[in-house]
Amino acid sequence: MRTQVGIVGSGPAGLLLAQLLHLQGIETVILERRSRAYVEGRIRAGVLEQGTVAVLTEAGVGERIRRKGLVHEGIHLSVRGQLHRIDFKALVGGAVTVYGQTEVTKDLIEARLAAGGQFVFEAEDVSICGFDGKRPKIGFTHDGRRRELACDFIAGCDGFHGVCRQSVPPGALSTHERVYPFAWLGMLVEAPPVCDELIYGHSERGFALFSMRSPTRSRLYIQCTPEEDLEAWPDARFFDELRLRLGGKMAKALPTGPCLEKSFAPMRSFVAEPMRFGRLFLAGDAAHIVPPTGAKGLNLAVADVRALARALAEFYASGRTDLLDAYSATCLRRVWKAQRFSWWMTSMLHRFFGRNPYDDRIQLAELDYLVSSRAAQQALAENYVGLPFEDAA
């Protein structure tokens, strides 16, 4: 097999990259170790920055987002039962769109299939080589046969545990990581939203988040320990705890409904740099992870592949490598800003049990300053709605 760009991973990063390159007449093949049904069924984040919606629209998959996405012009902070609204529209003239990553994935797969895009689902034992020269290759097993894909470039969009980053030679990669002493327990429920915007809750019992996926489905989270046992959290206990943490009128109005999915997510920050090694380019979770508090994971992946698609298009159009050479530095500027924002949101809203009382008082002072200062709210709104895309210097 032969193509121009071999893409490992069919999450939003790999799918969007293939779609953007297709619009530039550049051929791709996507290799994915899971089945199509599994990929389309993964429950993930659902808050899209303005810039992300613009890129998806440019890629030709914005129509369903426009029809079904929920545009939010602000968020609420619940601080010990008191509700405070951060008005994005008034503060920075922007908004975000709530539209599940599962739906983004489905839209992109449909677009690629409609355009004749090449996929290999259930590709086993994927390996990459030759990316330090001019003839990269991706080996894989499919239908019991060992095969090889020759390409000009490899895009590693295969997530945190994928093979691409692990294939980089020892010593060529620097990694930076912070593991948080808590996790999120999440439930997707068949119940209408209690509020028309997200509610981030801080309480003495820990963090809580009320979100939604549609007018009839709510996505709910509570802070828990990293060693949590899902069996210890029946639905009734989860709802009781969420009410205690939200407090006030929202707790009283919170509707319940059948649980469609329950999951547990550890919290970490991670960056690998650089994001390019010869003709291998890392994108999305393969290169960086952020805690979900700031809603930046999917949006960072979109920013990465936007930059990579533009760089590859320039190379195939003119032979120039300027943007390819700048890819890692371009992406990392945005990545580190998103890391800072996600760390700040996480540190401000979660309880660090066992921390000394001074630190707890500083956290409350930070929250008090935020809800009473327009300048502080404007900084939050600017980051949450999405900073401008980074382009090569």
| pLDDT per residue as tens digits for the range 102-140 | 999 999 999 999 999 999 999 999 999 999 999 999 999
Strands 96-98 and 47-48: antiparallel
* Amino acid (one-letter) located at 48: L
C-alpha dihedral sign at 233, 239, 240, 242: positive
How far is it, in rounded angstroms, from Cα 318 to Cα 339? 34
Number of independent structural domains in the chain = 1
pLDDT tens per residue, range 33-50: 999 999 998 877 789 999
**Residue 210 within any structural domain of the chain:** no
Output the pLDDT for position 80: 84
Q: State whether residue 127 is helix, strand or coil.
A: strand
Answer for the pair 104, 56: CB distance below 8 angstroms, yes or no: yes
Asked if residue 166 is part of any domain, the answer here is yes
What distance in Å separates the CA atoms of residue 24 and residue 46, rounded to the nearest whole number? 28
Assigned domain for 301 exists: yes
3 state SS of 159: coil
Q: Which residues are tagged catalytic?
A: 72, 200, 292, 296, 384
Q: Is residue 114 part of a domain?
A: yes
CATH of the domain at 58: 3.50.50.60
Answer yes or no: is 77 within a domain: no
Instruction: Let me know if residue 233 belongs to a domain.
Output: no
Which pair of tokens denotes residue 356?
């000394």
Task: Specify the 3-state DSSP secondary structure of 233.
Answer: coil
Q: With respect to residue 11, please indicate whether it lies within any of the assigned structural domains.
A: yes
DSSP β-bridge partners for residue 75: 86
Q: Give the predicted TM-score (pTM) of the model.
A: 0.95
| Closest-CA residue to 200 (of 213, 210, 214) | 210
Beta strands in the chain (DSSP E): 5-8, 28-32, 47-48, 70-72, 74-79, 82-87, 96-98, 118-121, 124-129, 137-142, 145-150, 153-156, 174-189, 199-202, 208-214, 217-224, 259-273, 276-277, 280-282, 288-289
- pLDDT of 81: 85
Around 133, how many Cα atoms within 13 Å sit in the side-chain half-sphere? 7
Cα 281 from chain centre: 18
- In this structure, is the dihedral angle defined by the CA atoms of residues 17, 20, 26 and 29, taken in order, positive or negative? positive
* Closest alpha carbon to 335 in 389, 282, 283, 288: 288
Query: What are the pLDDT tens digits along the chain (393 aa)?
Result: 999 999 999 999 999 999 999 999 999 999 999 999 999 988 777 899 999 999 999 999 999 999 999 999 999 999 988 999 999 999 999 999 999 999 999 999 999 999 999 999 999 999 999 999 999 999 999 999 999 999 999 999 999 999 999 999 989 999 999 999 999 999 999 999 999 999 999 999 999 999 998 899 999 999 999 998 999 999 999 999 999 999 888 888 999 999 999 999 999 999 999 999 999 999 999 999 999 999 999 999 999 999 999 999 999 999 999 999 999 999 999 999 999 999 999 999 999 998 899 999 999 999 999 999 999 999 999 999 999 997 875
Flag whether 190 is in a domain: no
- pLDDT score recorded for residue 393: 59
> Which domain does 302 fall in, by range?
5-72+95-176+269-352
